C-alpha cells in the first residue's frame, strides 16, 4: 500500500506517487521506450511478477504509465505518460548523485544488466565532459549481446554490432562495471581480464579515457 506522509508538501506528494520500492526503477526502464511485462522483469531481476503487477497498477492509477495498445498486438506493452516522461530529470539527477556519492564496483552475485551498464557509462562520460581529439566508435562485445559506444562531440551508445568499429572490446558486464567504477589505482589490474583489439594508438586512447 502506498505510504501517506500526512502533511502538505509537494515532495511528500511526489514520494506518495513514486516513492515505493521498484517504482522509480520501473520509470527508469520505461524512459528508454515501451516495454513488455517480461522485459521489465528481466531489467528488474529480483522483483516478483506479483510485485511488478502491483507496481504497474499503482503507477497506471497515478497517471504515470499507460498500456501501449496497438492493433493486432497480443502482448501488453507499457509506456510512460507525459507525467511519467517529465520524471526524466529526476531519474537523471539520481543517477548523477549516485555516480558522485554512492557508486562502487558490483558485489559478488550482483546482477549487471548490459543495457543499464551502457546507459550509465554513456551518461557518466557526458557528465564528466570526457572528450576525444577525433570521432571514435568502440564495439563492446558482451556474452549476451554487442553494443557500440561512440564519440562525436558527445557520447552515445546503442545495441548493435559494427564491423567498422575502431576497437573491439571483449569482456563481461561484471568485469567492465568493476573497471570503470574502481579506484584508478585498481583499474589496470582489473583491466587485464579485458581483451582489446585495434590499432595501438586507438587502444591507448581508450585506456586513457578510463584512466587505465
Shared domain check, 167 and 116: yes
Q: Indicate which CATH number applies to the domain containing 63.
A: 1.10.10.10
Please tell me the distance from the alpha carbon of residue 91 to that of residue 72, in angstroms, as a whole number.
33
Position 45 in a domain: yes
Say if residue 119 is in the same domain as residue 196.
Answer: yes
If asked whether residues 65 and 118 sit together in one domain, one would say no
List beta partners, residue 170. Answer: 141, 195
CA distance linking residue 161 with residue 172, whole number of Å: 16
Measured in degrees and rounded to the nearest 5, phi and psi for residue 50 equal: -65, -45
What's the confidence (pLDDT) of residue 2?
Answer: 59
Of 59, 89, 119, which closes a domain?
89
Average of pLDDT values for 59-69?
Answer: 93
Phi, psi of 55 (to 5 degrees): -65, -40
Residue that terminates a domain, selected from 89, 117, 140? 89
Least confident of 66-75, 152-161, 166-175: 66-75
What is the spatial distance between Cα 123 and Cα 157, in angstroms, rounded to a whole number? 10
| Cα(74)–Cα(17) distance, integer angstroms | 29
186 and 114 fall within a common domain: yes
One domain, residues 34 and 117:
no
- Same structural domain, 114 and 71: no
- Answer yes or no: do 44 and 120 share one domain: no
Is there a single domain that holds both residue 66 and residue 132? Answer: no
pLDDT tens profile 168-188: 999 999 999 999 889 888 999
Q: Are residues 113 and 205 in the same domain?
A: yes
Cell of 35: 516495454
The residues that bridge with 197 in the sheet, in sequence order, are 168
Would you state the pLDDT for residue 1?
53
Within-domain flag for 3: no
The answer on 148 and 57 residing in a single domain is no
pLDDT digit string, tens, across residues 103-121:
888 998 888 999 889 988 9
* Window from 35-39, 131-135, 161-165 with minimum mean pLDDT: 161-165
Is 80 inside a domain boundary? yes
What pLDDT is stored for residue 79 in this prediction? 96
Decide: 212 and 179 in contact? Cβ < 8 Å. Answer: yes
Query: Can you give the CATH number for the domain in which 188 is found?
Result: 3.30.1050.10
Cα 105 versus chain centre, distance? 15
Same domain, 116 and 201: yes
- What cell numbers appear for 137 in the block? 566508435
Are residues 24 and 79 located together in one domain of the fold? yes
pTM above 0.75, yes or no: yes
Tell me if 162 is assigned to some domain: yes
Domain of residue 23: give its range: 10-89
Residue-level pLDDT at 75: 83
Q: Which of 57, 89, 121 is the last residue of a domain?
A: 89
Amino acid at each position: 500500500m502506498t505510504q501517506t506522509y500526512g502533511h502538505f508538501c509537494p515532495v511528500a506528494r511526489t514520494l506518495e506517487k513514486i516513492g515505493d520500492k521498484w517504482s522509480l526503477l520501473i520509470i527508469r526502464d520505461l524512459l528508454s521506450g515501451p516495454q513488455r511485462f517480461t522485459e521489465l522483469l528481466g531489467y528488474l531481476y529480483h522483483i516478483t511478477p506479483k510485485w511488478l503487477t502491483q507496481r504497474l497498477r499503482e503507477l497506471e492509477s497515478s497517471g504515470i504509465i499507460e498500456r501501449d495498445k496497438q492493433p493486432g498486438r497480443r502482448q501488453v506493452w507499457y509506456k510512460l505518460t507525459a507525467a511519467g516522461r517529465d520524471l526524466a530529470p529526476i531519474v537523471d539527477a539520481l543517477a548523477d548523485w549516485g555516480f558522485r556519492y554512492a557508486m562502487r564496483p558490483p558485489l559478488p552475485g550482483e546482477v549487471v544488466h548490459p543495457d543499464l551498464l551502457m546507459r550509465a557509462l554513456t551518461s557518466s562520460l557526458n557528465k564528466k565532459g570526457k572528450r576525444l581529439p577525433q570521432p571514435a566508435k568502440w564495439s563492446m562485445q558482451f556474452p549476451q549481446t554487442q553494443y557500440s559506444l561512440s564519440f562525436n562531440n558527445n557520447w552515445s551508445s546503442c545495441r548493435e554490432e559494427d564491423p567498422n568499429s575502431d576497437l573491439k572490446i571483449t569482456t563481461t558486464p561484471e568485469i567492465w562495471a568493476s573497471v570503470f567504477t574502481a579506484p584508478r589505482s585498481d583499474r589496470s589490474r582489473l583491466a587485464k581480464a579485458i581483451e582489446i583489439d585495434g590499432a595501438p594508438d586507438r587502444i591507448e586512447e581508450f585506456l586513457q579515457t578510463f584512466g587505465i
